Amino acid sequence: MIDLLKNFLIAGLILVIPASSCNTLFERDHTLRPEEYQKLGMPDHKKVWTNDDYVNANITLSSLKINDPLSLPRKNSRKSGELFKRMVNEENLSFIHDTIFPLRTRAYTIQYYTQFQTEMEHMYTIEHKGKIYYSEELSDLHIFGLAVHDKMLELASIINKSDDEDVEGIKAGMQAVRYNYLKLIPRLLGELSKTDQYSVDGLDRLSKAVSASVIENHEWMTSSDKAILVSELKNTIDNAESPGTKSNLQDCIEVLNW
């Protein structure tokens, strides 16, 4: 009778576990601990990373992708979550305001970060059992890439307003920074259309970041720039399934149409 009661209670507990949590519950964490990554060449996650740190991080990630592709740091891992957060932490971009470095040095340095982000994105694009294994991490990497471009625009604005003769020759770079930004947004909107690849939360977070960025930068855009983005945004809304994503992008359209 006692054994029967135990079996009944166990069955009841299993039934109340939401189906959506099953994969998370039983998914094995293949990642390493921060100190284990450091032995392989990964920088210390407890400090702000420099461009040299990103070089070392990407070398380490490249080696891991070849030898143990499921062991890259993960966002929600108890073992490696803090390391992943450092990889996409905007604090690593704070050097653009560090006046100890000349503006020209900061301008050249920030250019490398688009390459670092693209390389990390490539590392994390891994298919496993017919699905993108690191979809949550890719969402955050896309958001980090957007942050890099935002900081590039911010720094370009600082340079354009500067009286420093040393940066006169690079002020024209503002147009290239804006051009690259306007090319990035449609690419990110394309990612938002991949509803079978990302979680609803990932899509909502990415769409919120895109909307906030475009709203922040819309004042320097031409009427033509805005019209193109509005068309892209509407197409993405038509393909979106999440009400949160639709709402975020609609907010952006309203500002662009103002």
214: which residues sit within 8 A by CB, 6+ positions away? 185, 229, 252, 255, 256
DSSP 29: -
In angstroms, the CA 258 to CA 248 distance is 16
Residue range 48-89, pLDDT digits in tens = 999 999 999 999 999 999 999 999 999 999 999 999 999 999
Q: Which two tokens stand for residue 141?
A: 């990497």
Report the pLDDT averaged over residues 121-131: 93
Contact in structure between 91 and 50 (CB atoms under 8 Å): no
3-state secondary structure of 80: coil
Percent of the chain with pLDDT over 70: 90
Residue range 8-53, pLDDT digits in tens = 434 443 333 333 334 444 468 999 999 999 999 999 999 999 999 9
Residue range 200-248, pLDDT digits in tens = 999 999 999 999 999 999 999 999 999 999 999 999 999 999 999 999 9
Mean pLDDT (the chain) is 90
Asked if pLDDT for residue 94 goes beyond 50, the answer is yes
pLDDT, position 28: 83
Report the pLDDT averaged over residues 173-200: 95
Lowest mean pLDDT among 15-29, 116-130, 143-157: 15-29
pLDDT, position 21: 36
In angstroms, the CA 200 to CA 242 distance is 6
Asked if pLDDT for residue 127 goes beyond 80, the answer is yes
Chain centre distance of CA 31:
19
Asked if pLDDT for residue 249 goes beyond 80, the answer is yes
